[in-house]
A and B are shown apart, each in its own frame.
Chain A
Amino acid sequence: MNLLANIKYDFMGHRKMALILSSIMILVAFGSLFARGLNLGLDFTGGTVVVVNFDQKASPADVREQLEAAGYEKLVVKNFGTSQDVEITVPPQVDATTGLVVDDAKLSNDMLEVLQKLDASAEITKADFVGSQVGDELIEQGSLALLYAIMGILIYVTIRFEWRFSLGAIAALVHDIIITAGVFSLWQVEFDLTVLAALLAVIGYSLNDTIVVFDRIRENFRKGRKAETVDVINNSIGQTLSRTVITSFTTILVLTALFIFGGDLIHGFAFALLIGVFVGTYSSIFVATTSTLALGISREDLIPVEKEGASFDHIP
């Protein structure tokens, strides 16, 4: 089967449109991130999450009412997976008489007692407590991880290719991460530890795509034909397009399977990666290459240095 084989298309001719599209997406993402922020999960905010299972269908509204009547505040109550499971999120609670933070095991047991009045079959299936200091550290570690990953990639791509390529790859990466985070902010999807992991995996994926295109550009430059830089880039993207689309497609296949069947805990992770793969595919075609082009890449930058060329000649 040959779909998309050797496409001749002026990708770079549309780079202005791509620039506008990317700018809009980044602006919207930034706007949302500043205005609404991320819906940070328990991992980052601290607090207690309890999942309670009932023998029959449970209404989050009733559960909330029952708990609020018992004096709990700032609750988030929603169904978790099935209609028989309810997830309750509570910020750290302070005991009015002692002024101390209520022990979380006591908190979840107290809440269970309240709920058992509503339905005797109530049972805790999952209880998480995270102290607030842990969350701050996670954000710090996550940002550091991002920074080091970017630095490592910058160095590797500079060594293997050229600095303009490494900046182009980084531009695509940052583009992808901002937009994916923007989507999480815009729709207020919960951002937890697994989403952070997914975001870092998006780096790996987006890069993979970008490198494949860059590799072809380098190869075509080295073939030595006196072609215009823009044409070389257009050709390279066209030649790798079928691969880009097929790989993205297979990845999206498995991610969809993960999203639908992987269970609730993995939902956010699969969602982040799905967005990341879409944006990553687009950015490896338009963002990485246009950035590199804008930085003024030319054939001379990629002609193999003397030493490297000499050693190549010995290979029969």
Chain B
Amino acid sequence: MNRYPLWKYVLILVIVALGTLYALPNIYGQSPVVQIKAKDDVAVTQATIEKVESILTSGNIAHDQVVIDGETAVIKFSDLDSQREAQDLLKKQMQGYDTAMNLRPNVPEWLENLGGRAMNLGLDLRGGVHFLLEVDMTEATENKKKQLRSDVTASLIKQKTPKTKISWEGNELVIGFRNATDLATAKTLIKKEYTELSLSENISGDIFELNGLLSEQSLKLIKDSALEQNLTTLRSRVNEVGVAEPIIQKQGADRIVVQLPGVQDTTVAKNILDATATLEYRATESYDAAAAQIYQTGRTPPGSTLYFESNGQPIYLKNRVIATGNQLIGAQSIIDQQSGQPAVNVQLNSMGAARMLEFTKNNTGKFMGVVFKERIPIGKNEAGEMQYRDKQEVISNARINGIFSNRFQTTGLGSQKEANELAMLLRAGALAAPVQIVEERTIGPSLGQDNIDAGVMSVQIGLALVLVFMLLYYRMFGLIANIALTINVVLMVACLSLFGATLTLPGIAGIVLTVGMAVDANVLIFERIKEELRDGSTVQASIKSGYEKAFSTIADANVTTLIAAVVLFAFGTGPIKGFAVTLSIGIMTSMFTAIVLSRAVVNLIYGRKKRLKSIAI
């Protein structure tokens, strides 16, 4: 009666084997590495590797072989000291490359090819800086409102519709006119060009007012796009400095989490967050083949400057700036209604619009380029002065197809992806609204290692204590429960690794707690079997009804705990979330190991013995 069909054994075996396989990457540990990447995103070549090798050899720093991973070269070291030494040396000698310190798991290649990867370590376990930034949403909304007001004003002037007043009253833009005809003309225009405003008329006596309300939805959109823009800006800045595996995420409606592993100097990190960037629209002097020819001669045409496009092509732009990023209000990628091609919609404020109008009037058919300039703080020099690096790149070069002012389209983009990227870059120029640091945590790398050691030790000791107790108390069945418990830990680790979860200290605590609680299901079952035996049932019947009767109790108890864990996950941030994830996974894997797996082992041992008189429980 206590037998499983063969397929069940096979299924259990497969699950356990897979679990072991995917938990395996975690036992190889991690090595300190230095990552090197070309600043212009060009893939590293064999020549680069040879240069790195010779620098390290001449510096007398012991290192593993240099390997290429995508566009970066990775060098492994045996200890943190030589990693730091090597980074200092490479930073000085490898011009045009970004270097970053990192930890990389030593997972063997065959395992990596099977999709195996080690758990990510949280900042509390590896050291680094954590920032929580709050985006000033009042400022973001105010900025947008100011822009809208001046845009509407500019549009009305262009249309030659006189107005008596224009001002914001709360979230409503109130525009006054002299008569109903002016109001109607203006309404048609505003309705077409400013879809974010929902319009209504207020006509009484000699008052002719048009009210444009920013709906809740539009306001939310403004805030969302401000948050998105800040995220994009921060992401591109952090990538620029070469921090390995940074985390930059939204948290709630107006917060951004920035985690920079390995970074210790918070002043440098803060300057990254405060960096300034600008955009410039300029007339194109020469591009593509013509520019390449001039580049060969090395003679820059007078009144222009040499830049490079993102693909490395030289391009010459006139020195006069038509519009700057400060005048740019928004950029969205769209599909052009007429051509069906991807395009980017750009909006300028009134000042930018006026200059753009003047320029395009005289230059239709010519090309115009966009320069992206960024000042990035790179650290203090020995005198204590902050050093900056300027990055300049032409991110777009397009033909002027007509006369335009505050709103225009950039077309001729290869794909939707390209359009998205351009829109993002245009927006990434500056932060949409100021950010404030509301939380900052720095954890030294040695403290991180201490945390790992303490965590691992407490898991080992806790597990060992429980295993010894179960063996003493339940003997043979205790051994079975111990097998289930050990496999439970393996399966938990496998799940966490597969989901790409980040292991934090509270996460380790969650694992320890689950070890204590996971035996509960087996205790429930074994106590039930004992009861049945005392009531005079045969051994086989006792085992069967023990497992069956305990099941609903186990399910009820675990579902209620799972409810608590899910709520924790939904409401928690940071450490609480990590704990909730391990707890939830632990509950589910322990149900499998304690009920299904332990039963399988019991069936294997006792299932075939028909005249079983007693069991060691």
Residues on A facing B (Cβ under 8 Å):
1-2, 5-6, 51, 104-105, 109, 123-131, 133-134, 138, 141-142, 144-145, 148-149, 152-153, 156-157, 160, 193-194, 196-197, 200-201, 203-205, 207-208, 211-212, 215-216, 219, 239-240, 242-243, 246-247, 249-255, 257-258, 260-263, 265-266, 269-270, 273
Contacts and interface: CB of A to CB of B under 8 A. Distances in A.
A254 B511 CA distance: 10
A127 B441 contact: yes
Contact of A201 (B461, B513, B531): B513
B466 A253 contact: yes
B557 to A, nearest CB: 4
Contacts of A250: 466, 469-470, 516, 519-520, 523
A156 B563 contact: yes
A200 B564 contact: yes
Contacts of A269: 506, 509
* Pairs of residues from A and B, 9 with the lowest C-beta to C-beta distance, nearest first: A263-B454, A254-B462, A131-B438, A251-B516, A145-B571, A257-B462, A254-B516, A125-B444, A204-B561
Contacts of B437: 104, 129, 131
B614 to A, nearest CB: 13
A126, A153, A260, most chain B CB atoms within 10 A: A126
State the majority secondary structure of interface residues on B: helix
Nearest to B524: A243
B572 A197 contact: yes
Given A2-B530, A247-B523, A253-B466, A208 B557 contact: yes
A211 B460 CA distance: 30
B576 A196 contact: yes
A204 B560 contact: yes
Given A193-B574, A208-B520, A273-B513, A125 B446 contact: yes
Given A208-B557, A258-B509, A193 B575 contact: yes
Contacts of A265: 124, 451, 505
A44 B387 CA distance: 37
Interface in B535-575: 549, 552-553, 556-561, 563-568, 570-575
Contacts of B519: 247, 250
18 contacts: A124-B444, A126-B444, A128-B442, A129-B440, A130-B439, A145-B571, A145-B572, A149-B568, A152-B564, A196-B576, A201-B579, A211-B560, A219-B549, A250-B519, A251-B513, A254-B465, A257-B458, A261-B458
Contacts of A273: 513
Contacts of B524: 212, 243
Interface of B: 124, 132, 134, 266-267, 270, 436-444, 446-447, 450-451, 454-455, 457-458, 461-463, 465-466, 469-470, 472-475, 505-506, 508-509, 512-513, 515-517, 519-520, 523-524, 527, 530-531, 534, 549, 552-553, 556-561, 563-568, 570-576, 579-580, 583
Contacts of A149: 563-564, 567-568
A200 B568 contact: yes
Nearest to A51: B447
Contacts of B446: 125
Nearest to B535: A6
B563 A261 contact: no
A196 B523 CA distance: 29
Contacts of B474: 1
A287 B467 CA distance: 31
Contacts of B572: 141, 145, 197
A266 B574 contact: no
B531 A255 contact: no
A148 B571 contact: yes
A127 B442 contact: yes
